[in-house]
Structure 1
Amino acid sequence: MTRPLALWQRVPAPVADLVVVAAAAVDVWLNLWDDSRLGVALAALGCAALAFRRRFPLGVFLFTLPVALTQDVAVAPLVALFTLAERSRNRALLAVCVATSAVASSTPWPLGGITEFGRAMTLIAFVYSLATAAAPVLFGQLLQTQRDLSRRLTEIEEARAHERALHAQAVLARERAQLAREMHDVVSHQVSLIAVQAGALQVAAKDPEAKEAARTIRSLSVTTLDELRTMVTLLRASGGRATELTPQPTLADLNKLVQSSGTQAQLKGALPPTVGTPAQRALYRAVQEALTNVRKHAPGATASVELWQDGKDIGVTVTNTPPTRPSLPLPGSQQGLVGLRERAEILHGTLESGPTAEGGYRVRLRIPLSTD
């Protein structure tokens, strides 16, 4: 069943619409009940309306009701119901449409013939029409749910891959930081002692060869210390691939960050060129964390990133709209905003975060310009 459906979905939309209209027209031609001008005109209008079912599903369904009332047909109203159910999430509206379609299909035409048809037969026809109308609605809702699940599985896989990449970078950064501490605290200290002892031996030695050897040892020790300091600096400045994390990001990289965030976001405002490097890094990390949270916890939301200056304070505000789909239960360290708040406190600034009145979320970082 899935394979024919997949093949049908590959058919271009105009071709599929033409096939549907043709099938509805054949259905009317084979089961024409009311051959008056009004009946034929209503049938033609209902069949032609199916060509616009993707853009106006509810309107097209309403156009097929006269066809179901005046003719003994099934294709036009059922196709309209299926299209409406595939695109609408309003269950109450779908229930009303099913009942309305069943009434139109089971009511004898012309209306004066209801007494001849019999109330019992009319009721039986209504129950049969109700079950028939419910089938395409259930099938349309099933396809809608299948698409939602497929989209959510894709989002979960992307989010997990992103989390794995971030975790790998965090582990590498911790290992490099630990290695830098060991080199600074242990290796550098011992090499310094070697240099000091070699200097003392150079002063105290009487033998020229011993004095020259001590001088060489001291010179090599000093050179090794310089190289160790350079290596420690590089290790502390990097936590992953050098092309990504060295040098540290600045405000000039914000536009690229917003465009590659995976969220529909807009960057507004500007800051003076006197903003120092620590403040620029803090602002960049605030935007990065906020947009990551939008992608993880507010699927389908849009975001606004605004740089601003208020007197002697500068900052950034990231605001997102409410999600259009339920959020996904994704893993996380729950330390992103905590780290941003600590970074803000180091710069004598503040970080505010919380939900908005419209149902979205806002992150606002404020830093004194004078601290840089």
Structure 2
Amino acid sequence: MTPRRLPVSLLDAALVAVSLLDVWAHFVAGEPLRMACALAAAFALLLRRRMPFFTFLLTLPAVLLSDAVFAALSALYTLGSLSRRRVLLAVCVLAFTVSDITSWPSPNFDPSNTSTLITLGYTAATAGAAVFLGQLVQTRHDLSLRIAEISEARDHQRLLTDQTVLARERAQLAREMHDVVAHQVSLIAVRAGALQVGTRDAEAKEAAATIRRLSVQTLDELRHMVSVLRASGGRPTELTPQPSLADLRQLVEGSGIEAELQTDLPDGLPPTVQRAIYRTVQEALTNVRKHAPGAGAAVRMCHEDGAVRVTVTNTAPTRPALPLPSAHYGLIGLHQRAALLGGTVTSGPTADGGYELRLELPAECTP
């Protein structure tokens, strides 16, 4: 867990307070000039972030005239953390060292004295430590920014890689749908058309017409799906036209089974809810046609208590179902679609041998 940093204003106030304590510790009643310079140096720290070099210059007289040096060391640290000019920093360290070992206005500097050289080294080391600490903070900040940039670049690269893999998979899926599925559905439509023209049985003719119409609609949806899959990497593309509640009656009437539609859904339902209802009814009628030959179906929809309820119930089949290939993804897809919208899908057999599928979605109408 990253520790919380102190507010900038609070930190500046703390530095000024410590500097004032340093001035008070070295207070000399008979030397107002020294105290004035020391006080000016303490309050100059309020400018250290905006004008670090100027702040250091304001604190330098206090080092030259008094023993209150905390403000100048703080200014040196700030300058070291913000400036990248090594020569300037070295000059500032030298200026602090010379000012600190010089007792102005009566200089007492003897290079031949060992204690003077020791004091000089100690003062230079103190000033250099402040600068080095500032440089260390600057380097840490630069490293943090660099790490953040590397992490962002890595995430971007991972996203590009994922998009490339997804685009390749979508392109392969589009080819499979175009080369295999669309071809097979086209053959179904052609054979159904030939049966419709060649048969004299009215019931067979009507069944062939239904098969041909559904095959053509399936081909149209496949073309749109293939175009969506091939548009990977571009702007998001939606299937057009998108089904809505206005298309439900046509869906029920063209389902190829005896189906009854009862609905009192209001206008203004969200498009996502309308598509979910349409796809649920479409999947339910498809399952009736596949698994319950000869059965009738009833589709009932209502809106109450801020929720949409859709029920598709079919009677028991009148003849055995043909073995058809199925991936069993239809109901799974309906469950996932409903869950994304905050709803539920339940299904199960009825007491009379039929089957019932129920969809419930939270939905508010928009004016």
Select 1:225's aligned residue among 219, 230, 235. 219
Which residue is equivalent to 1:176?
A: 170
SS in 2 for 1:114: coil
Compute the TM-score of the two structures, normalised by the length of structure 2: 0.55
Which residue is equivalent to 2:183?
A: 189
Which residue is equivalent to 1:82?
A: 77
- Closer, same or farther in 2 for the Cα pair 1:97/1:218, shift >3 Å? same
Contact 1:86 1:144 in 2 (8 A): yes
**Inter-partner Cα distance in structure 1 for 2:53 and 2:179:** 73
RMSD of aligned residue pairs (Cα, Å): 3.5
Select 1:235's aligned residue among 219, 223, 229. 229
**Inter-partner Cα distance in structure 2 for 1:22 and 1:201:** 98
Select 2:138's aligned residue among 128, 133, 144. 144
SS in 1 for 2:140: helix
Residue 109 of structure 1 pairs with residue 100 of structure 2? no
Contact 1:33 1:72 in 2 (8 A): no
**Inter-partner Cα distance in structure 1 for 2:153 and 2:14:** 40
Amino acid at match of 2:6: R
Deviations 1:151-192 (A, max 9, x none): 333333334334434433343333222212221122222332
- Closer, same or farther in 2 for the Cα pair 1:136/1:21, shift >3 Å? same
TM-superposed deviation, 1:82: 0.9
**Inter-partner Cα distance in structure 1 for 2:205 and 2:39:** 111
Amino acid at match of 1:189: H
Contact 1:107 1:122 in 2 (8 A): no
Select 1:10's aligned residue among 6, 11, 16. 6
Which residue is equivalent to 2:121?
A: 127
**Inter-partner Cα distance in structure 2 for 1:21 and 1:60:** 13
Deviations 1:39-87 (A, max 9, x none): 2332232222222222221111112222112222331221111111122
Which residue is equivalent to 2:86?
A: 91
- Closer, same or farther in 2 for the Cα pair 1:22/1:226, shift >3 Å? closer
- Counterparts of residues 61-76 of structure 1 (less than 5 Å): 61-76=56-71
Contact 1:180 1:235 in 2 (8 A): yes
Amino acid at match of 1:147: H
Select 1:56's aligned residue among 28, 48, 51. 51
Deviations 1:97-140 (A, max 9, x none): 1121111112243344335x854433322111110111111111
**Inter-partner Cα distance in structure 1 for 2:135 and 2:212:** 80
Select 1:19's aligned residue among 14, 22, 27. 14
**Inter-partner Cα distance in structure 2 for 1:34 and 1:99:** 30
Residue 153 of structure 1 pairs with residue 144 of structure 2? no
Amino acid at match of 1:55: R
- Closer, same or farther in 2 for the Cα pair 1:206/1:134, shift >3 Å? same
**Inter-partner Cα distance in structure 1 for 2:209 and 2:18:** 99
Select 2:161's aligned residue among 152, 161, 167. 167
**Inter-partner Cα distance in structure 2 for 1:105 and 1:193:** 98
Amino acid at match of 1:91: R
- Closer, same or farther in 2 for the Cα pair 1:210/1:62, shift >3 Å? closer
**Inter-partner Cα distance in structure 1 for 2:7 and 2:216:** 75
Select 1:246's aligned residue among 237, 247, 250. 237
**Inter-partner Cα distance in structure 2 for 1:44 and 1:55:** 20
- Closer, same or farther in 2 for the Cα pair 1:200/1:25, shift >3 Å? closer
**Inter-partner Cα distance in structure 2 for 1:245 and 1:33:** 76
SS in 1 for 2:100: helix
Compute the TM-score of the two structures, normalised by the length of structure 1: 0.54
- Closer, same or farther in 2 for the Cα pair 1:144/1:35, shift >3 Å? farther
- Closer, same or farther in 2 for the Cα pair 1:126/1:32, shift >3 Å? farther
**Inter-partner Cα distance in structure 2 for 1:143 and 1:190:** 69
Count of paired positions:
239
Which residue is equivalent to 1:278?
A: none
Contact 2:101 2:109 in 1 (8 A): no
Contact 2:228 2:238 in 1 (8 A): no
Q: Once the two structures are aligned, what percentage of the paired residues are identical?
A: 53
- Closer, same or farther in 2 for the Cα pair 1:45/1:95, shift >3 Å? same
**Inter-partner Cα distance in structure 2 for 1:33 and 1:108:** 15
Decide which structure has greater helix share: 1
Contact 1:86 1:141 in 2 (8 A): yes
